[in-house]
Amino acid sequence: MSLPKKARIAAGFTIEGAAKELNISGGYLSQIENGQRQIDSKRADEIAKLYGCEKDKIFLPKRYSIREVLGKLEKKGSQLRKEGDQE
């Protein structure tokens, strides 16, 4: 059983109940729990807050940080290209 699922059950939520509180579908939450969906840090925070625990206790950093790091790298790359064009 995945850590997010264990945390949900320990917090007393059904998948449908937790999904409703998070304004997402039960299917989407199930995919998150089973590692079939990547989530960002904000979503990880929302889920952890609902379950009453820290996100690092239920989500491995790679599950929510890769997308953020790529976004920051793309932004930095764009800035560097603009600076290079100005020279």
CATH of the domain at 82: 1.10.260.40
Residue 60, domain extent: 3-86
- Number of domains composing the chain: 1
Residue-level pLDDT at 46: 97
Task: Please say if the pLDDT value at position 63 is more than 80.
Answer: no
Amino acid occupying residue 62: K
Task: Please say if the pLDDT value at position 64 is more than 50.
Answer: no
Amino acid occupying residue 55: K
Give per-residue pLDDT as tens, 6-53.
999 999 999 999 999 999 999 999 999 988 888 888 999 999 999 999
Contact 70, 45 (CB under 8 A): no
Record the tokens describing residue 17, joined without a space: 């109940």
Task: Please say if the pLDDT value at position 2 is more than 60.
Answer: yes
Count CB-CB contacts under 10 A for residue 84: 8
Query: Number of helices and strands (H, E) in the chain?
Result: 6, 0
Residue-level pLDDT at 65: 55
Q: How many CA atoms lie within 13 A of 74 on its CB side?
A: 6
Please, which residues have CB within 8 angstroms of residue 21's CB and are 6 or more apart in sequence? 13, 50
